[in-house]
Structure 1
């Protein structure tokens, strides 16, 4: 028998009861049911969904209800784990312009298997190998020198390709001569061309591309227009884009554009991506070394029984004086240039690849001392490559290279959220082995 609400019942409690269903002797709401079916604990659900544990407990207890998109996302988590009995992954993907594997981590988390990696920078390759030591493939080099036929068949293509202008010279002449041109002409000589030629050859079920927010306006919008025409008209994919600020997952304002494409018709809706509430967004204190002895020893970045950050990350008097003078000079001129200092309750600016030079975009205040840079481990946490308090990320390069790598990387929890939204549209159609689709012919413009 379902609970009824008496005239004098508390309205909040009544609403809470109305959301519940009975399973034997246990009363659970829809969120709790889906969470348990996905095999997630409360902390795991908070981590996977991008919300605080406090918010998860509210949903679990029926105090409030999540948005429909959150429930839909939970439903995707169960089937996206592959065939546990056979050991088969849910799907196979490739990682192009891989950097240090940020895009990959999001798709590893939903049961995918990376079958190919390409990255040209030797230091990034060192970091990648150190953090994915169990791969059964090596990290390939310059993608422009690799034939599409050398790349294994795959269900999903991931690529964080560089932003470059496209030369449209000769296109109007080809039009006048009524000769076909397509993307082979429009994007020839750019690194996006290599993404397009691999998609054309392998026809993966889906792709996820990532770039800077300004890709939309680059070269007066012509770059983005050519990319979209190539993906939609020349290659025949259904494409959606979205600019996402990572500040709702990590304590950093970082806007990036993500481009999702599917080969076949799908009801995928990028606007349905569950975004954590602003009130639950993390603050810098969650990724900083606590310096109170509660963190495991980390000799590369901290020292002493309390784990105090090493002095080398504190700005010298000379550099600190220079940054203050530089900021004052531009302030007097009416400009906004200068350093940015933050405390534990703040949200940082965007971490850039130039952070190793002076750290001016994200300085951490210190009582009675000059401010300091973030340590590379704090950068790993700021980008979501490891959890606050953890030391699971392997550092095998210099601090300078580590700063460059994180400054060029993607925020992992954002990618995982996108991957989970894409998951049901990938795994529902990947029962046919990717190898069987290799070379599949499809009419293209």
Structure 2
């Protein structure tokens, strides 16, 4: 009996990982999250019946169907550089250990079994939280469950006009742990998915059971911020826009004045952050005009709401990035947004999701090939063992 391309999506949110996997032929049999609003958005797009709206602490391994792939995007709150940095064993980020517990419990149920492939996603800060010890501990926990591991660092800006760097861990049960010479071959190759900081981490930790795979170069992005702007959305009033302008550094104000003289519109984004401006620490609007947006975030705090700005033809306009533009920035322009969901909940949904084409790329060039390799060598009896 061959493996099937089935998956369980833990911390599934609004389903952007599910969407990326589906595009590469995977069928998501089980999705888990604790938000009723996210469940509504998910089921609007992917149907009902397989989304479990519960706290992961209430879930046991026997509750999960037999799947080939388990994905987890556990909360980044305590490992992100924008968060508390209190570590993997504290707060919401400690739910990583609930995921590990469930995988272990799945292995104890003969009719379920541990999924042969694991995919974990989180922020780049995972690489350095706890002075790097958090990631070491997490990878060793996967090793202890029988998984050899690989790590990738991918910026969504290769696919969409949004700067969004994320760390991915890929584990599999049947990969052979590579020796030092084999690892040296992989880490000597300059590939974008393993920049120098990733190579350095791998080299520094030969005690971890690694199983690295060759990957192609990441694609070259073909769209910019201007391509995803919703021109039907209303811009702010003149007074509100002027207030934003007056919150900027003088150098950014000068850039805007120059670009207002163009005979065409160009676009940028703004985040408000606390900065020292004019000798005083105050809310400051920081301008970005490189054709990509900053990282979408959940709407917590004053810096979370990203602002779209337009300049040219003698004008300077501003407004919040809307729901449809957020979907485009996450590589999900076809995503159906229910009318009864509040704008805040929509921003929450997209702000803590995973960029669809990044998942699709990983599925195409890594997970699918791994699936085929495992399917050619593993019997169902071996999987159940």
State the TM-score, normalized to the length of structure 2.
0.70
Q: Say which is worse superposed, 368-377 or 410-419, in terms of deviation.
A: 368-377
Is the Cα–Cα contact under 8 Å of residues 355 and 407 in structure 1 kept in the other structure? no
Q: 1:191 aligns with which of 95, 106, 110?
A: 95
Give 1:216's aligned residue: 127
- Secondary structure of the equivalent of 2:374? coil
| Contact 1:341–1:371, Cα closer than 8 Å, also in 2 | no
What are the equivalent positions in structure 2 for 1:233-244 lying under 5 Å apart?
234-244=144-154
Q: Does 1:106 align with 2:20?
A: yes
Pairing 1:147-186 to 2, within 5 Å after superposition: 147-163=60-76, 164=78, 165-167=87-89
Structure 1 407/391 Cα, relative in aligned 2: closer, same or farther at 3 Å?
Answer: closer
Counterpart among 215, 221, 240 of residue 272 in structure 1 = 215
**What is residue 78 of structure 1 aligned with on the other side?**
none
Q: 1:257-304, CA deviations, whole angstroms, 9 ceiling, x for partnerless residues?
A: 011111101697455143013xx4421112112x3xxxxxxxxxxxxx
Q: Secondary structure at the match of 1:220?
A: helix
Match of 1:309 in 2: 233
Answer with 135-144 or 212-221: which moved more.
135-144
CA deviation vs aligned residue, 1:181-217 (integer Å, no higher than 9, x gap) = xxxxxx9993111211222223211011000110111
Q: Secondary structure at the match of 1:347?
A: coil
Q: CA deviation at 1:140?
A: 3.5
Which of 1 and 2 has greater Rg? 1
Is 2:53 the counterpart of 1:125?
no
CA shift, 1:360, in A, is 5.5
Rounded to whole Å, the distance in 2 between the matches of 1:383 and 1:316 is: 30
Equivalent in the alignment of 1:321: 243
Identify which of 341, 347, 361 aligns with 1:417: 361
SS at 2:218 equivalent: coil
Number of the residue aligned with 2:294: 349
Q: Which has more strand, going by share of residues?
A: 2
Q: Which one of 165, 169, 190 corresponds to residue 255 of structure 1?
A: 165
2:371 matches 1:426: yes
Q: Deviations over 1:342-381 (max 9, x none)?
A: 56x7111111112895766442225535311211001100
Query: Where in structure 1 are there 5+ consecutive unaligned residues?
Result: 1-87, 169-186, 292-307
Change (3 A) 1:335 1:229: farther
Matched residue of 1:240: which SS?
strand
Contact 1:216 1:224 in 2 (8 A): yes
Distance 2:16 2:4 in 1: 19
2:265 aligns with none
Partner of 1:363: 308
**Is 1:203 matched up with 2:92?**
no
Q: 1:396 to 1:338 in 2, by over 3 A?
A: same
Give yes or no for contact 1:241–1:270 (8 Å, CA) kept in 2: no
Query: How far apart are residue 432 of structure 1 and its match?
Result: 9.6
Q: Look up the match of 1:228.
A: 139
Contact 1:340 1:362 in 2 (8 A): no
What TM-score do you get using the length of structure 1 for normalisation?
0.61
Distance 1:255 1:391 in 2: 22
Name 2:350's counterpart in structure 1. 406
| Whole-angstrom distance in 2 between the partners of 1:251 and 1:415 | 16
How many residues were matched structurally? Answer: 308
Alpha-carbon distance, 1:245 to partner: 0.8
Match of 1:331 among 277, 284, 293: 277
Counterpart CA distance in 2 for 1:418 and 1:192 is 21
Report deviation, 1:391. Answer: 6.9
Cα 1:188–1:324 shift into 2, 3 Å: closer
Query: Measured at CA, do residues 146 and 247 of structure 1 come closer, stay the same or move farther in structure 2, by a change above 3 Å?
Result: same
